[in-house]
Structure 1
Amino acid sequence: MCGICCVVSLSVQHTVGGFFKDDLLCNLRRRGPNSSQHLIKTVSDLSYQCLFSGHILHLRGLMTPQPLTDIDNNVFLWNGEVFNGIHIGTVENDTQVMFHHLSSCSSESDILSLFSSVQGPWSFIYYQASRHYLWFGRDYFGRRSLLWQFNNELDRALCLSSVSALSDSDNQWQEVPASGIYKIDLKACAISESLVLILYPWKYHSRENAIEETFLSGLDQISKDLPAYVSLTMSESKLSLITPVVPLNRTVPETSVDSHCPNITNSLVTVEDLHGFLAEEHKKKLVHQLIDVLSEAVKRRVLYLFRDTDELTGEILSISTKKAHVAILFSGGIDSMLIATLADRHIPSEEPIDLLNVAFMIKEQTKQSKQKKQHELHSCQECFKKLDTTLVDNLSRFNVPDRITGRAGLEELETINPSRTWNFVEINVTLEELKRMRQQRISHLVYPLDTVLDDSIGCAVWFASRGEGFITTQGDVKPYKSSAKVVLTGIGADEQLAGYSRHRVCFRKYGLDGLNKELGMELARISSRNLGRDDRIIGDHGKEARFPFLDEDVVSFLNSLPVSEKADLTLPRGIGEKLLLRLAAKELGLTASAILPKRAMQFGTRIAKMENSSEKASDKCSRLQSVSVD
C-alpha cells in the first residue's frame, strides 16, 4: 500500500513544487512510512512539468521505492495489490512487475488489456514519456483512493493524490470516479493551454445473448463539477477496459419459492432453523461453492504480505510468530466472524490474529439501565469477574452492542480453534478523544464526503484500525497496540446479499425486480460511497485495507446467482438477509453469530448516540464542515 501523488502544471514559469504543500506530504507519508521519494520532470520545449511523489508501506517482495523510472524516462506510481490475473512470483514485488508490463505496452489497447487483467485493488499514475501521456485511474470497485484537484491560479495545474490536505483556496478535492482509466495528452494540453481528460470506461465483455453495458455512472455530474478549462471526453477509438466480474443475474422465479422453514417467526429464530436449508442438495452445493471462493479470497489477502521469511528456505522466522500480521475489523457479526474463521485456515497457526473491536462511551445511564449493562458485561466475559469493581464500572460505559457480540464471537472462535491466539482488542473512545482526533486527523480523510454517516463510519473505522486498546488474558488487562499492517474488513457482503434494512423496504414495495435493481446500484456506487473513504481512513495508520467480499471471483460467483438464492426477505431478520452467507457460517461450525441480525456500525459502536442522536445519516455533518478543507 502506498501514498501516491502527481502534480502537473501546463507551464514551466513557476516551480511545480509550489503546489506540493507540507501538510499533503505529511498525509502521504503516514500512508507509506517505509520509503519516500520525489521526482520532477520538466519538458521545457513543450512548457509542462510534472512532480511525482511516492510513499511506500512495504508488504510483499523486495522493498521497491517509488516513483519507478526506466531507460525510456517513463515514470510509474502504484498503490495496489495484484492478487490474481497477472503472475507475481513469491519473492517478486508487484510494482516492478506491473511497471515491466507497462513499459512493454506498444499501444493503448495493450495498456487497457493489462489493467483489465489485474485482479485486486489498485490506483496508479503512469507517465508515458515517448507520447507525453499521463495515465491514471482506480480499479473497478474503487478499492484504492485517488483524488484530483484542479488549480487555475497556478498555471492550470492538476494534482492527483491518494489523500487530500487542507486548502485555503476555493479549489475543491474530488474523488477520481472509478468509471475507467483516464489519459491526458500533456503535449496537446500544453499547446492549447487547457486540460482534456480522456476516459476509457469499463464495459462488460460482449457475448451471445448478453447485453453490453457501459459503466458511465455520473459522467454528466463529473463534467459539471470540472473547471471551465477542463473537459472530459470519451475515447474516440471506442477502446475500453473489460470488467473483471460477470454481470448481475437479474433472473426472477416465475413462481414464488416456498421457504424451507415456514414456521420461523421473529421470536423463534434459532441456529437449528438453518438445517432445513442445508438438507437440500442444491443449496448445500451453493454453500460450499461460496465457502471455497471466499476462502481463496481470504487466503490471497492474508498470505500476500511480508512475514520476515528466510529468502533461501521460505520459512517464517521465529520472531515474526509472536506478533500479528493480520487484523480484522471485528463486531462479532456474521461478516467479520466468517472472515476470521477463514483467516484461521490460512494464517500460520503460531501467529496471533488481532480482532479490532471499537466502542464509543455510552452517556450516563439510569440506575436500572446501568445494572442491566453490568449484568450483560459479566455474562459475556467470565474473566471480568476477577476485575475490581471500579474497573468493571468504567468498562461498562463501553459495553455497546458490538462489544457484547464481539466477546460472544471471540468465544465461538476460541471453540473452533482453541490453540490460536486471538487478540480481542477492546478499543474504547471517549467523547473528548473523538472530538480531538476528528479535528486533527479524521476530517480531511473523510473529505470530500461530508454526511453524518460518513463522519460516524469514518471515525469508527479510524479508531478501530489504529488498533490501540487493551486485551484481557486470564483476567489480566494490559494495554495493546496492533502490529498488523493488513486490516481485513467485511464491506461488500451487505451490498451483494441484501443485508441492509433498505433492501427489505425495497423488497416489500417492489418485489424481487426492485431488489435486483437496488443490488445492482449498490456495487455501482460502492466506490464513491464507501471504499475511497475507508482506504484513506485505514491507510492513515500505515496499514492496508483488504476486502475479501469484493474479490473479483467472489463477486462473479455471487453475481451469477439469482437473488432468490442469496437471500429470502420473506424470512425474519437474522436469517433472511444474507441467507447464503449464514448457511456458510453454519457449515463452518459457527453458532449464535450465524443468526445475528444486521446492525450498522454507527449503531453497534454507539457513535451515532454520542453527540447528536437526532441527526439523519444523509444530513451534512456540521462537525466535519467546521474543520473541512474547502
Structure 2
Amino acid sequence: MLFAASVLWLQGKTPTEQPLEDKESVFIYNGDIFSGIPEQVRDKLGDTIPLLGLIKASENVCFALSRVAGPYAFIYLDKSRKKLYFGRDLYGRRSLLIGKNGNRFVICSAAKRRKGFEFMEVPSIGTFCWNLITGDLMVIPWQYRNKNFETKLEDLKGFLKQDLSVEGVLPPEESAIQTEIDSNNTTVLHIVEGLDTDLAFHKLLNIDKWLNNINKLEILLQKSIKARVSGIPNSCSNCLNKNVHCKHAKIGILYSGGVDCSVLAILLDKCIDSESPIDLMNVAFDESNQYNAPDRLTGLQGLNELRQICPERKWNFLTINVPQEELNLMRKECIADLIYPLTSILDDSLGCALWFAARGKQDDFTSTCRVLLVGMGADELFGGYTRHRAAFARESWQGLNNVLNEDWQNLSHRNLGRDDRVVSDHGRQLRTPYLDEEVVNFVRNLKLWEKTYPSKTVPQGFGDKLLLRCLAYKLGLKQVSRFKKRALQFGSRIANKNEKAHEMSTRLL
C-alpha cells in the first residue's frame, strides 16, 4: 500500500506533515475540526494530531468522529488489525473519491480523467472499513441514515463489483421536517400579505417569537463564522513564507450581492479585526455585455450597503471577468479534471464559475485570501429555490415539505465534494458557515412556516428564505434583503439556457 498527501495549512502554529505514520497506524486527513477538540489545543497543534489521538484513544474510529464537528475526509490504516477506514463527514463537505482499475484501488481527494482508473465519489453515508485480510468491505452508518442510503450503497457495490455489508442493525431514517399545520401558528404569515415589504419586515421584527428566532439564528451564524476564521495563520498567501503578521486580506467571500453572502459579510465584519481587508469575489462571463451580468449589478448594490453599514472595513470588490477563450482553455487544462467524476452540464457551469471565482484574479491583481466563505446550504435550509415556490403553489405546506426534505437528503451527494476540489486547487479552503452542525440543527428543527413562506401572495424575494431575509433586514441590509434568488450559473451568465442542466456535458469528456 502506498500513502501520499499534501497539506493546506490553516490550523496550528506550524503545518503538520502528512501522512502521519507510526508503528500502529497511518493517517491522512483533510478537514477542519471546529468543535470537540479544545480551541487552545487546535491553536497550538492544529487538528490532525489531536484527531488521530482521539481515534487511537477510543479504539473506535466512528465513536471518535462522532465527538467532533466540522468538515472532513480521512483515510486511517490500523496496522495491527489490518483494517483500512475511510469516509467523509455527514454533509459531504470534503471531497473523497474511490477509483479502480481491475483489482487495483485508489482513494484520493481528486483525480484525472482518462488515466486508466474509473472513479466515483465516496458517498457520505457513514464510515467505511476494508478488512485487508479477508477483503470484506463494510460501512458503519451514521446514527440516522439518509433517505438515499440504500441507493448509494448499491451504487458503490455496483461500481466496485463486490459485496458491501452494513455493520449492526440498520439505523432509522433521519426525521422528516414537521408538517402538522396549526392555523394559529401560520396566521402571522397571512398578516404580511399585500403589505409593502418594509412594513412586512417591521411587523415580523415586532413579533416576539419571530424576533427570538432571528436573534438565535444571528448568534449561531456568527459563532459559526468566528469558528471558521479564528485561529488561521496571521499571514496571507503571499506573505506565508515571510512569517509576518501582514495586513493583506486573509478571508474572502464568494459574493453575488445576494442575501446569503451579504449576511455572511456583515457577520464576518464583527469577527475579525477592523484593519483586515475582506475580498469579495464577483465573477462574470457576460463578455458580450461588458460583463454586466446580473450578479455583477447586485454585487455592486450589495457592496454599497456593506460600505454604509461597515464604513471602517476595507472591502475589496474583485470584478473577475472571464472571456470565453480563457474559459475553454482552463476547462480543458484543469477544471474538467477537478469536476470529474461528475459530468453534467450543471456541474460544468457551477464548477467552472466557482473555479474562476476562487482564483480571485482581477486583471493583474490576485486575491491573497486563504479562506473562502460561501453561502452553500442556505437554500436547502431556508427554502430558497424556485422549485420550493412551485411545490408550495401545487400542494401547500405538504408539497414544500416533500421537496425540502428531498433537497436536504441530496445535499451531501450533489456538489460539495466538487466545490471542495475546485476551490482547493487555488490553495484556498472552502468554508460553509450555513452547514455548521449547530446552525443546521436549529434551522432544521424549526417549523416550515417559521423560516419560509414561498407563496404567490407575497413578493418573490421576500417570502422565500423569510427568516434569513428578516435577519438581513435587521442587520441593515434593506436592499439586499429583497433581492430575488438567482443561481450562480445564471447570475454570472456562464450557463446556456438552451442546455438541459442534468444532461451530460461533452465539454467535460
TM-score (norm 1): 0.76
1:274 maps to 201
2:299 maps to 406
CA drift at 1:219: 3.4
* 1:461-610 equivalence runs, <5 A: 461-470=354-363, 479-570=364-455, 571-609=458-496
Q: Distance in 2 between matches of 1:586 and 1:66?
A: 45
Query: Is the contact made by 2:98 and 2:121 (CA closer than 8 Å) also made in structure 1?
Result: yes
Structure 2 residue 67 is the aligned partner of structure 1 residue 117: yes
Q: 1:594 to 1:305 in 2, by over 3 A?
A: same
Structure 2 residue 58 is the aligned partner of structure 1 residue 105: yes
* 1:430-445 equivalence runs, <5 A: 430-445=323-338
CA drift at 1:101: 1.6
Q: Distance in 2 between matches of 1:151 and 1:112?
A: 29
Query: Is the contact made by 1:138 and 1:178 (CA closer than 8 Å) also made in structure 2?
Result: yes
Query: Is the contact made by 2:377 and 2:435 (CA closer than 8 Å) also made in structure 1?
Result: yes
Q: Which moved more, 1:214-223 or 1:81-90?
A: 214-223
Query: Is the contact made by 2:177 and 2:405 (CA closer than 8 Å) also made in structure 1?
Result: no
Query: Is the contact made by 1:327 and 1:484 (CA closer than 8 Å) also made in structure 2?
Result: yes
2:239 maps to none
Aligned to 1:53, what secondary structure does the other structure show? coil
* 1:281-320 equivalence runs, <5 A: 281-308=208-235, 319-320=244-245
Q: Distance in 1 between matches of 2:309 and 2:380?
A: 28
Q: Distance in 1 between matches of 2:147 and 2:324?
A: 45
Query: Is the contact made by 1:360 and 1:605 (CA closer than 8 Å) also made in structure 2?
Result: yes
1:166 aligned to which of 91, 113, 123? 113
Q: Distance in 2 between matches of 1:602 and 1:214?
A: 28
Q: Distance in 2 between matches of 1:588 and 1:248?
A: 31
2:122 maps to 176
Q: Distance in 1 between matches of 2:287 and 2:390?
A: 30
Equivalenced residue count is 498
Structure 2 residue 253 is the aligned partner of structure 1 residue 323: no
* 1:372-387 equivalence runs, <5 A: none
Q: Distance in 1 between matches of 2:489 and 2:177?
A: 31
Structure 2 residue 52 is the aligned partner of structure 1 residue 52: no
2:179 maps to 251
Q: Deviations over 1:598-625 (max 9, x none)?
A: 011111101114xxx3111122112112
Q: Distance in 2 between matches of 1:66 and 1:239?
A: 34
Query: Is the contact made by 2:113 and 2:340 (CA closer than 8 Å) also made in structure 1?
Result: no
- The one-letter code matched in structure 1 to 2:310 is N
Query: Is the contact made by 1:201 and 1:215 (CA closer than 8 Å) also made in structure 2?
Result: no
TM-score (norm 2): 0.93
- The one-letter code matched in structure 2 to 1:175 is E
- The one-letter code matched in structure 2 to 1:518 is V
Gaps (5+ residues) in structure 2?
Answer: 237-241
Aligned to 1:355, what secondary structure does the other structure show? strand
Query: Is the contact made by 2:97 and 2:121 (CA closer than 8 Å) also made in structure 1?
Result: yes
The CA RMSD measured in Å over matched residues stands at 2.2
Q: 1:263 to 1:134 in 2, by over 3 A?
A: closer
Q: Deviations over 1:509-543 (max 9, x none)?
A: 22212212221222221122110110011011111
- The one-letter code matched in structure 2 to 1:258 is T
1:458 maps to 351
1:346 maps to 271
Query: Is the contact made by 1:356 and 1:425 (CA closer than 8 Å) also made in structure 2?
Result: yes
Query: Is the contact made by 2:382 and 2:465 (CA closer than 8 Å) also made in structure 1?
Result: yes
Q: 1:214 to 1:357 in 2, by over 3 A?
A: closer
Aligned to 1:159, what secondary structure does the other structure show? strand
1:422 aligned to which of 312, 315, 338? 315
Query: Is the contact made by 1:321 and 1:350 (CA closer than 8 Å) also made in structure 2?
Result: no
CA drift at 1:87: 2.3
The structure having more radius of gyration, on CA atoms, is: 1
Q: Deviations over 1:366-407 (max 9, x none)?
A: xxxxxxxxxxxxxxxxxxxxxxxxxxxxxx611111011111
1:203 maps to 143
Query: Is the contact made by 1:362 and 1:397 (CA closer than 8 Å) also made in structure 2?
Result: yes
Q: Distance in 2 between matches of 1:260 and 1:151?
A: 56
Identity of aligned residues (%): 39
Aligned to 2:296, what secondary structure does the other structure show? helix
1:336 maps to 261
- The one-letter code matched in structure 2 to 1:296 is K
CA drift at 1:103: 2.1
Q: 1:293 to 1:460 in 2, by over 3 A?
A: same
CA drift at 1:360: 0.5
